[in-house]
């Protein structure tokens, strides 16, 4: 094994030893550092400064108790997390996830990814992530409010527009951000708009933030297809999930002339051959907060497939937009054999390492989440800009900025993949671009 490769493997083994049982974090670290060998060879000072070792260790990890009372008066205890991973490029920035599966390792994997993603956007934001094992599903608004108030009562002391700026993620949308912001304002006696993003445009939120992650991932897919002289127009697409990212990915695909024939939630898959009716989907998911199976009760030509795999449905473009490791090697093989030519990840790390290998070996255009879904956090940075200047941009202007940012992220990843002799390998391109930007700042700041 060449020396740099050996060094990288040693660093990975050390991460595994020091973070036992955190499998998703190990996976995220491995995926990045496996592509960094050529960078260390070209820029040996990164190794001298132990940049990789330092990047793998969060600057700060906060774990706290979140007690609250449900509607029946029973006391509930959840656990809250905020992992402030890296702040050399700006304040920690990254969403909050409320889902029963959340463990420290989940937040660490997401925070680690966020560092590189945020660097890729070219905006002045560091990386962090947070959340709780609280499950908002089936809870009343009053219960969600009490939980959010308790969560923020502890977290507020670690936040600030120049320190750490959370946003939404799975289980955290405009409703939760509203309750969190209200409690932050109350605890600090400050109307500090820039402390949270994903706010409602009625009180300091940016237009397009809600749409940004899904739209951005579709723009990235369009850019990848362009490198082959192709486009989304006329393509059959499948988008997993039915949450914030999935809904707006579907919307943008439809605007660009593609047809989305399937989407899903954790209860099953909706297959609608003539194309998903977006108004129905939004009504079910955004307004009524119901299960996706209801869609087939409304559209009788659609089929609900309980516990089916969405990746069995033939498509040319796939956009995993639900959760991590939702697309494994078997699913990837199925997609390839059904004629899939492009995969753009709306979710974070939705494809397993085996799945990624299948796509890359089959010549499928494959965009990892840290590049493809960076439009969400980039638009959060645009929200921070608007808050800092007490301004509010139009939808058209903000969407144009998002589009430009996604084109630029694609260009940087593509050109870097070519520079390192792996043209079209967006995993390598994204990791190297993000890493170099963070590494340069870490070296410049001295040993911190």
Cβ-proximal residues to 200 (8 Å cutoff; 6+ apart), any chain: 174, 177, 178
Q: Are 181 and 96 in contact (CB under 8 A)?
A: no
- Output 87 or 118, the one with its CB closest to ligand NDP: 118
Catalytic residue ranges: 129
- Output 192 or 345, the one with its CB closest to ligand NDP: 345
Cα–Cα distance, 409 to 369 (Å, whole number): 12
- Smallest Cα–Cα separation from 439: which of 15, 54, 31, 112? 54
- CB count within 10 Å of CB 2 equals 9
Minimal distance, residue 383 CB to ligand NDP, in Å? 11
Residue 360's SS3 state is helix
- Output 153 or 323, the one with its CB closest to ligand NDP: 323
Q: Are 216 and 402 in contact (CB under 8 A)?
A: yes
Cβ-proximal residues to 341 (8 Å cutoff; 6+ apart), any chain: 225, 230, 316, 317, 364, 365
Minimal distance, residue 13 CB to ligand NDP, in Å? 27
Would you tell me which residues interact with ligand NDP (CB under 6 A)? 168-171, 213, 241-246, 265-267, 321-323, 346-348, 373, 376
* Residues across the chain: 448
- Output 170 or 195, the one with its CB closest to ligand NDP: 170
Minimal distance, residue 297 CB to ligand NDP, in Å? 17
Measured in whole angstroms, how far is the alpha carbon of residue 421 from the centre of its chain?
27
Minimal distance, residue 69 CB to ligand NDP, in Å? 24
Terminal-residue alpha carbon distance, the chain: 31
Minimal distance, residue 203 CB to ligand NDP, in Å? 19
Find the residue with minimal CB distance to ligand NDP.
243
- Output 171 or 194, the one with its CB closest to ligand NDP: 171
């Amino acid at each position: 094994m060449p020396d740099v490769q050996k060094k990288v493997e040693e660093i990975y083994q050390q991460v595994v030893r020091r973070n036992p049982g955190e499998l998703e974090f190990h996976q995220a670290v491995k995926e990045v550092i496996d592509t960094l060998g050529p960078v260390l060879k070209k820029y040996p000072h990164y190794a001298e400064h132990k940049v990789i070792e330092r990047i793998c260790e969060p600057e700060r990890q906060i774990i706290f108790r979140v007690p609250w009372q449900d509607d029946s008066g029973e006391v509930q205890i959840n656990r809250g997390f905020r992992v402030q991973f890296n702040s050399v490029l700006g304040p920690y920035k990254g969403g909050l996830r409320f889902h029963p599966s959340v463990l420290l390792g989940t937040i660490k994997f997401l925070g680690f990814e966020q560092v590189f993603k945020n660097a890729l956007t070219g905006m002045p934001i560091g990386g962090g992530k947070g959340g709780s094992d609280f499950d908002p599903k089936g809870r009343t608004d009053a219960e969600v409010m009490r939980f959010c108030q308790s969560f923020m009562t502890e977290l507020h002391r670690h936040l600030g527009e120049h320190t750490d700026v959370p946003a939404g993620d799975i289980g955290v949308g405009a409703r939760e951000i509203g309750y969190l912001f209200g409690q932050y304002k109350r605890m600090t006696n400050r109307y500090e708009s820039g402390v949270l993003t994903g706010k409602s445009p009625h009180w300091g939120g940016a237009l397009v933030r809600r749409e940004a992650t899904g739209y951005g991932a579709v723009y990235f897919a369009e850019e990848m297809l362009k490198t082959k002289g192709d486009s989304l127009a006329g393509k059959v697409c499948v988008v997993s999930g039915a949450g914030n990212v999935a809904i707006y990915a579907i919307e943008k695909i439809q605007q660009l002339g593609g047809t989305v024939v399937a989407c899903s939630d954790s209860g099953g898959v909706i297959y609608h051959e003539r194309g998903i009716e977006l108004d129905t989907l939004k009504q079910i998911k955004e307004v009524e907060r119901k299960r996706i199976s209801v869609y087939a009760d409304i559209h009788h030509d659609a089929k609900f497939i309980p516990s089916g795999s969405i990746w069995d449905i033939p498509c040319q473009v796939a956009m995993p937009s639900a959760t991590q490791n939702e697309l494994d090697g078997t699913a990837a093989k199925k997609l390839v054999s059904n004629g899939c030519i492009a995969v753009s990840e709306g979710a974070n790390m939705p494809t397993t390492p085996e799945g990624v290998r299948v796509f890359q070996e089959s010549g499928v255009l494959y965009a990892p989440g840290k590049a493809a879904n960076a439009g969400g956090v980039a638009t959060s940075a645009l929200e921070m800009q608007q808050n800092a200047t007490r301004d509010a941009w139009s939808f058209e202007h903000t969407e144009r900025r998002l589009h430009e940012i996604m084109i630029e992220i694609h260009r940087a990843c593509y050109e870097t993949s070519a520079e390192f002799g792996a043209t079209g390998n967006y995993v390598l391109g994204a990791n190297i671009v993000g890493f170099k930007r963070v590494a340069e700042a870490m070296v410049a700041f001295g040993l911190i």
